[in-house]
Amino acid sequence: MRRRVVVTGIGMVNPLGHDVQTVWSALRESKSGVGQISIFDPTGYPTTIAAEVKDWCISKAGEDAAVWKNRGRHTRFAIGAAKQAMAQSGLLDSGMAPTRIGVYMGAGEGNQDFPNFTNMMAAGVQHGPFDLSAFLRRGRQVLNVEAAGGAGMTGTDDIAGLEGPNSNCLTACAASSQAVGEATELIRCGDADAMIAGGAHSMIHPFGLTGFSLLTTLSQRNDDPAKASRPFDKDRDGFVLGEGAAIVILEEYEHARKRGAAILGEVLGYGSTADAYRITDIHPEGRGAIGCMRNAIADAKLNLDEIGYVNAHGTSTSVNDRTETLACKGVFGDRARLTPVSSTKSMMGHLIAAAGVTEMIVCMMAIRDGVLPPTINQETADPDCDLDYVANVARPAKIKVALNNSFGFGGQNVTLAVGALRNG
């Protein structure tokens, strides 16, 4: 019999708050965390807005700020989220051997100094996307070292001395969802009894803003930041960069039950695919998106009518939102318009590598409280996006299972199915 995987701890730091309950309350109240960029001077860039984490220091997590000052913002966020999740789970006091607890993190580049790019936008961009791709290839080792040595080490040597499987994935916007899925598989197959899994990222720096500006994927609604992220709305003009971290403690069910842990939910299914299409474009028919959703549903042994909610990837770009809508129809068929879908990126921006696990936690809160978070800024209907997007205000709904979609840059797709604890 396959080992079951449950969640016993959650933590997050993001633009809407510094802990899960604060973020969840803001989502239920349709609050936006988007504003003018203050981390650096964005003058001269076509986009000057983002969803920043405000008024947070790692000292709030009980750590010495001086010790961590030279680590990236995303690493500090990850430490904060991890300590919240570990404290809630009580896992480190359970007597489980350190060799049976591992870490799997999804991450990306942090605040490196890219001098060739710092003032590019202000001076007027002369480089094309292939120049950017070449630079990324040359810098890949730098990015991998930062991710693995920073966020990917969260909860191990620096914090808890864990000795189980330790891994890191850099699959763009799908990274943290993939980390949760792969960590789940490690527990299922017996290689670990518990895993600290999640993601951390901050691309609100000159290089990040330059790259996405070159790709023309960011909203330029600079005069009205709170209205900038508008997934599935006809007048959407791009996504909004966010930042933060989210961590979950995954544990084998029997161990969690025997130690009397509070079980917050269960990871029911995991699906992963690749578009095998283009570096920068999602497959126009949603081939990969459909595949990973179907894989997660099959892995969880679910019927379509058991799925009460889909937290969409929902970036607020024209192509993504249209294609994800198409993919939902491909999976749900006649039930597509009966299944609520919403994008919480409308409020917190796109947390890139941290987005997936953040939204997984949102799904768990929706199941716990019987409330679906809204997609705000739904003002003008798009005929290509015609599902139930829970427009503008949260909605009461008793659900037991939710899907969380994460579709990464480069055609990397992950869907997680999460639910209330099943009987038997």
Q: What is the pLDDT of residues 280-301, one digit of tens each?
A: 778 888 999 999 999 999 999 9
The mean pLDDT value for 312-325 works out to: 96
Q: Is 350 a catalytic residue?
A: yes
Evaluate whether residue 98 is within a structural domain.
Answer: yes
What domain range includes position 358?
1-411+415-419
What is residue 277's predicted lDDT score, i.e. its pLDDT? 87
Confidence of residue 123 (pLDDT cuts 50, 70, 90): very low
What does the block give as tokens for 227?
A: 């209205």
All residues at 6 or more sequence positions from 289 whose CB lies less than 8 Å from its CB, including other chains = 273, 282, 283, 323, 324, 327, 405, 407, 413
Contact 37, 75 (CB under 8 A): no
Contact yes or no for 45/215 (Cβ under 8 A): no
Averaged pLDDT, 106-119: 55
pLDDT in tens, 346-376: 999 999 999 999 999 999 999 999 999 999 9
173 tagged catalytic: yes
Whether 125 is covered by a domain: the verdict is yes
Q: Residue 278 domain-assigned?
A: yes
Mean pLDDT for the stretch of residues 384-393:
98
Whether 283 is a known active-site residue: answer no
pLDDT above 70: residue 135: no
What pLDDT score does 95 carry?
87
CB-CB contact of 338 with 157 (8 Å): no
- Could you say which of 255, 313, 363, 385 is catalytic? 313
pLDDT of residue 110: 59
- Note whether residue 206 is domain-resident: yes
**Strand residue runs (E) in 203-318:** 243-252, 265-274, 309-311
| Catalytically annotated residue among 18, 350, 363, 385 | 350
In this predicted structure, what is the pLDDT of residue 282? 82
Interval 191-241: pLDDT, tens: 999 999 999 999 999 989 999 999 899 999 999 999 999 999 999 999 999
pLDDT in the model for residue 37:
98
Q: Which of 116-125, 268-277, 288-297 has the lowest mean pLDDT?
A: 116-125
Q: Which of 18, 74, 173, 363 is catalytic?
A: 173
* Total structural domains within the chain: 1
Model's pTM, two decimal places?
Answer: 0.90
Give percent of the chain with pLDDT exceeding 70. Answer: 88
- The CATH number of the domain where 347 resides is what? 3.40.47.10
Residue 84 confidence (pLDDT): 95
Q: Is residue 424 part of a domain?
A: no
